Each structure stands twice: as structure tokens, then as C-alpha cells.
A and B are shown apart, each in its own frame.
Chain A
Amino acid sequence: MTAIEVKGLSKRFGSTLAVDDLSFSVEAGRIVGFLGPNGAGKTTTLRALLGLIHPTAGSATIEGRSYGELDDPSRAVGAVPDGGMFHPGRSGRNHLRTLALAADVEAKRVDELLELVGLADAADRRAGGYSLGMRQRLALAAALLGDPRVLVLDEPANGLDPQGIRWLRDFLRSLAAEGRALLVSSHVLSEVAQTVDEVVVINRGRSIAQASIGELLAKRDGGVRVAGPDVGRLAELLERDGAAVTRGDDGALLVADRSGEQVGALIAASSIHISELSHAGQTLEDVFFQLTGGDEEPAG
């Protein structure tokens, strides 16, 4: 079943078209990264999906229904909205208790979740004194109150230290392993690259790509780097084959127009002794910048 479906979604704020005819979907049990530079329309899209803002056109549904039509929204979908959404004078535990009451969730679930996200010790302190990482943990606990099948997280790694990002990554993986669908937005590809199954890349409110990380990697160019004692022979063979070969400063070969697999096959067939065969040039991040045009100009 399609967990999340965004179809032809547009949202206009005054003269700004924040989201422009956007379509993508998330299947159950998948983690999808929702990527784009700041101002690309990610938050607007997620808020439309959660019934918080009214789309100008198109639809955004969860398990085939708009958020407002869900019978029991907190059991269907949990959300971590962008930024800390707490009353600074209320304790973390009381914040969760108010939401649990509104969502008809048992009170003991609050304590379970505080334990799960590692906030049990700080639960009775006023949330205004929480660190950014603690706020994100509290927001995650709130999202999980109804044990939802779908999770929507807006920039959950924002402001987390490397340790926090690692904790988050493991936590999200464990949630997906339980069969949940996750849509995780980020403006930094590396934050989510190791967590997600696929990515939806948007820029200026429009979808640029929906692809698996593998497919995205395949879009890389920049060639293959080979080093070792026999690279001179390899260069001759490759050049005879019409490949574009250049020599690096350290004597290694750079092959621009052959894949690692092709070069590897040639090395094996010719019994050439090498010490290194690696991808050169573009990183996944480069592909992301290339897709989004590398601009960070806010579009809404």
C-alpha cells in the first residue's frame, strides 16, 4: 500500500509559488529522503501532507486519505515538525501528556517513549531549558505516541551534533525495520544518505528526481582512478580501446569514460598488477548540487 502520495501539489503564498506541481510517493516499509536546498518547498510540502496548510492545487494523502479524513490520525502518522514546538514553561513529560490526552493514547505510553528516546531523566524539567538534541528527541517521542505506521520528519537532524545524528540514524533505521514508512527531509544529503532507501530531490518547489541512492550514484561522472606498478601497460591497453586516459601527479591513471567494472574486467583479463582501483571525481554530494543547480536562493 502506498503510505504517502503527493499528486500535483501546488501551494502559493501571495506572489510566491512555494510548491509547484509536485508529485512523489512513499511505499510502506521504505525510508525516503526528501532533499532540497533551504527554501525549496520541503516544509510547505510536509505541512500540506499533515493538513496544516491548504494546498492551492493537487493533493497530499496518507494511506489514501487526506490528514483530516484519517479516522485516528495519531495511529496512522506521526510527525516531527520543523523547529522545537514546545511551551518553554511546560516540562517534557507534561508536553507529551497533553498530546496523549488529545490523541486518546494511554498515559503509560508517555513514560515508555521518554525512556525510548533517552529523556527519562530530564522529563520533569521545563522544556525551555532543553538542548536542541533533547528537543528533537522530545519531538520524536511526540510523533511516536500513537505508534504510527507512517512517520514524517522535517529536518530531524537540524542542530544535532555528530553523536546525535548517529543516534538519530540508528533510531530511524530501527523504526523502518519495524515496517514503518518514513519521509525524512533534509537540506544536507550526507545526513540522510546512509539511512534512506531512496530520495526525492526538489528545488524551487519542483521535483527534480525520485531515485534510489544507487541510481543517484550511477549518475556520477568523473571516472576511475587506478594506481600500481603495472599502470603503464594498462594505459596502453585502455588507449588502444579508445578510452580517455590521463596521468595523475602521483603516476596513477585517471580514466574518464570507463566504469570501475569495465576497467576491473580489463585488469583481470590482462593479469595486470595494481594496488588501487577507486572512483574519482564526483561525490554523491556533487550529484545533489548538480541536480539542485547548487543554488540556495529561497523560493518560499
Chain B
Amino acid sequence: MSDVQTEVLAKQEGEAQTLLETQLLTRRFGTLTAVDGLSVSIKSGEMFGLVGPNGAGKTTVIKMLTTLLPPTSGNAWVAGYDIVKHASSVRRIIGYVPQLVSADGALTGYENLLIFAKLYAIPRAEREQRIRDSLEFMGLAEVSDKLVRNYSGGMIRRLEVAQSMLHRPKALFLDEPTVGLDPIARKAVWEHIKRLRTDLGTTFLLTTHYMEEADHLCDRVAIMHLGKVAAIGTPAELKASIGGNGVTLEDVFVHYTGAELDSGSYREVSRTRRAARRLA
């Protein structure tokens, strides 16, 4: 057995419960430190939320964990695989729904799923059934042969979640899954995510700047501010930590960061709006 395999196995055994771990994960862009020494560990089957305003570094964390962006320093492991050294092994076991709209509007919903089933090398014998099942599960069976450019925002997001789950990933990364959706579509996306988790036991890491969403969905939440974790815990713990009944996660956020929620650079804001417009 090779050193690499031994190392991976040791990590998997030693921390049977931990699916994802980061150690002093850092990313700089020039002089800006987007993510500053992030160390968290996420248990298998957990729904973990990264919350914070635009520009807090949430998306940069996700890009590093999905192997799209190399860390400047520090490291992270998904199911024991190093995100830099074993990047292609990591890619096989994760799913990813980017903040930007990633379903292809010029294809039908079915075709979007078919292409990804093939890219993930899902065996031909199972392919058709899995696609049909996931369309059914996400409530998209009726529109599967329509072009995605005619879908509503909520339908597009549900299709994207379906796409990212076809290969049954161990960890699913959702970057702002409900940005730009109306409250009804948002609730529908939440319900589907929760059911996926109960049915398949997938570990979720999601980012959001809606505190209500984090409160509703997540087992544990890390509040990020200027690239650092300002506070971490279950929503209840976080609320209790600033004492008092009737406290919302929003109050917790303001308490720990001393910031209002509506910051963010011009670029971030225009990107969020662009995504929102395409989903509207």
C-alpha cells in the first residue's frame, strides 16, 4: 500500500466522524486577505452554515474546498483527501452548486442532468433511472424536456441541486442557494435540501447571508466577518451566548461583528444582482 493511501486511511479512521476539516485555511488576493486562518471541522451528515455579509469570504472558502482555488496557506481535507494534493479524488466525492446560475439555459432540464451524469461516469445502466428519479424528486418531471431558459428561478435552483446530487456525493457545497428567490421558491428549495439530507445522509456546507435561512436549516453556523470566524455554534448556542429570549440570529451577527448586514463591494453587489435577475 502506498504512503498516500495509508495517510488517507489514517485520516479517515482517526476521525471517523469528521468529514471535512480545515486548518488555518488562508487565501490572499494581493494585499487583501479574503479568508484568514479558517479552522473548522464538520461532522459527517451535518448541515453546516457559513453566514456573513457579501465580501466576508464565504465564497472564497467554498472555492477552495471545491478545489477551484488553491489556498495561499493552510490546508483542508474532505473525507481524508487533501484538497490540493488529492484534488481529483476530492472532485469525485463532492457536489457543488455555485452562487452564479450554472444550469445551461440552451439545454433542457433532462439534458443538463444527462451531461453531468456522463461527466461523473455514472454507469449507463443506472443513468436513466437516476435522472428520472431526481427529476421526480425535485418536482421537475413535467418540465424535463423544456429548455431551462424558460424555467423559473426556483426551478433552476432545484435543477442545479439535482445536477450536483446525481453522483451521490459525500459532501455538497451550496453557495447562496436561495439568493434572488421569492419566499415561496426559497421555502421549496429548503424543503428539498432537507429531504435530500434525510434520505441520503449527505453532509452539507452552505453559505447564506439570510440569517433566517441559517437558523432554519443549519445544525451549526459559523459567522464570518472580514475573512475570519467571529463566532461558531448551533443557532441556539449562538443566541444563548448573547443572552436573552427573543434574540434572533441577526442580533447575534450584529453583536459579534459590530457590522450591519448590508456591506459588500460594488463587484459583489452587481454579481448578486445579476444572479438574482437571471433567476427572477
A interacts with B: no
